[in-house]
């Protein structure tokens, strides 16, 4: 069976935007339940200003409680300060955040596009020196909530820049869930032919119910690593219109059903969905939840 890596970004992209503040202890509980279901790649937290994103405060406490051998845990870092904090907390993998447009970088991290590029390159170089794996987000890769459509050649150019700088992977993110499968086919075909599939991963939001279709399209282009968020939590506080990420349970259902090896046990993953609902105290879950719950009841 062909392997597909599912990277759960719920503890970061999911919780950062939820109305409920979840304690570091409970964030660790959620991560441990994902591990129990077989998830082996998790974005555990971000080291960002607690004033900008209060829900991610105390990321160091989250990292301190993780068994670093248990999975590939990454930390999102927006600047050198965040990088230093992530390193101190024991992160072995960091993801820098480069948005494709001027305005999105300003709104998200208060830096111009040029400043962001140079900060991202500097973090990547430093990480390589420190033996930490650097990855790079490429946010608003199809459409920006402030500047509209983004040209494919811009994404190709920024990807080339980050890969040349030493990033091991570019995470192509449809931050506001505006992409359709035809655009994904065109963009990912281009990126795969330029850089090869193993250096690219896909990050889709489900705002318009197209995240699974977009994922399948990227899969057809050869991509074998995707972000998703447990229970479909998520959104970027600085990107109006960004709603939930593709739900991990929806992605795993599709991949397992289609004969890919994710290593994830869907029944156990449902416990993570349940825990997520308890932690955020509102109804959660992907589009397949009614079916998955029925299926579980029938198995009992
Ligand atoms: N972690 C923790 N604190 C940080 C920090 C980091 N990575 N970077 C800066 N700070 C602190 C500074 O120490 C300073 O604290 P003080 O007011 O107590 O002195 C304060 O934040 C402002 O620092 P400054 O460098 O002026 O940052 P800024 O106000 O221009 O904000 C960012 C820039 C990047 C820190 C902020 O916009 C941010 O954290 N953005 C993250 C956005 C995000 O997570 N988006 C979703 C994921 S893509
Ligand atoms: Zn996202």
Q: Going residue by residue through the chain, which has 300 residues, state the pLDDT in tens, using 9 for 90 and above.
A: 999 999 999 999 999 999 999 999 999 999 999 999 999 999 999 999 999 999 999 999 999 999 999 999 999 999 999 999 999 999 999 999 999 999 999 999 999 999 999 999 999 999 999 999 999 999 999 999 999 999 999 999 999 999 999 999 999 999 999 999 999 999 999 999 999 999 999 999 999 999 999 999 999 999 999 999 999 998 778 888 777 899 999 999 999 999 999 999 999 999 999 999 999 999 999 999 999 999 988 887
Q: Which listed ligand is nearest to 16 at the C-alpha?
A: 1
Range of the domain at 71: 5-299
* Sign (positive or negative) of CA dihedral 234, 240, 242, 243: positive
Within 10 angstroms of residue 232's Cβ, the number of other Cβ atoms is 28
Between CA 134 and CA 123 the distance in angstroms is 8
Tell how far CA 282 is from the center of its chain.
22
Report the pocket of ligand 1 as residue ranges, CB < 6 Å: 16, 46-49, 51-53, 76, 78-79, 81-82, 85, 97, 108-110, 236, 238
Residue from 30, 87, 73 nearest 55 by CA: 30
From the alpha carbon of 82, which atom of ligand 1 is closest?
7
Residue among 120, 144, 221, 236 flagged as catalytic: 236
Pairing status of strand 93-99 against strand 169-174: unpaired
CATH number of the domain within which 168 lies: 3.20.20.70
The total number of structural domains in the chain stands at 1
Given a contact cutoff of 8 angstroms between Cβ atoms, the answer to whether 41 and 6 are in contact is yes
- Decide if 221 is catalytic: no
CB-CB contact of 75 with 47 (8 Å): yes
Cβ neighbours around 201 below 10 Å, total: 22
Closest atom of ligand 1 to 78 CA is: 34
Give residue 50 CA to ligand 1 midpoint distance, Å. Answer: 7
Rounded to 5°, the CA angle 69-70-73 comes to: 85
């Amino acid at each position: 069976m062909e392997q597909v890596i599912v990277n759960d970004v719920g503890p970061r992209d999911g919780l950062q935007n939820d109305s409920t503040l979840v304690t570091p202890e409970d964030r660790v509980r959620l991560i441990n339940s994902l591990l129990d279901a077989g998830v082996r790649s998790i974005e555990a937290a971000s080291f960002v200003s607690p004033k900008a994103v209060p829900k991610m405060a105390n990321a160091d406490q989250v990292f301190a409680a993780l068994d670093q051998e248990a999975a590939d845990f990454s930390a999102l870092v927006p600047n050198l300060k965040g990088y230093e904090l992530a390193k101190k907390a024991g992160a072995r993998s960091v993801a820098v955040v480069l948005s494709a447009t001027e305005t999105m970088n300003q709104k998200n991290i208060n830096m111009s596009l040029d400043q962001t590029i140079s900060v991202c390159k500097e973090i990547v170089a430093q990480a390589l020196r420190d033996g930490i794996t650097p990855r790079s987000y490429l946010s608003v890769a199809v459409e920006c909530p402030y500047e509209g459509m983004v040209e494919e050649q811009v994404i190709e150019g920024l990807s080339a820049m980050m890969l040349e700088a030493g990033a091991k992977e570019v995470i192509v993110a449809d931050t506001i869930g505006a992409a359709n499968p035809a655009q994904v086919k065109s963009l990912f075909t281009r990126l795969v032919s330029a850089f090869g599939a193993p250096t690219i991963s896909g990050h889709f939001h489900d705002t318009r119910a197209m995240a699974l279709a977009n994922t399948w399209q990227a899969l057809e282009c050869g991509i074998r690593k995707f972000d998703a968020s447990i229970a479909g939590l998520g959104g970027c506080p600085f990107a109006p219109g960004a709603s939930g990420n593709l739900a991990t349970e929806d992605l795993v259902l599709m991949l397992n059903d289609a004969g890919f090896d994710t290593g994830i046990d869907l029944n156990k993953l449902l416990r993570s969905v349940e825990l997520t609902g308890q932690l955020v105290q509102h109804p959660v879950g992907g589009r397949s939840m009614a079916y998955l719950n029925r299926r579980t009841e029938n198995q009992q």
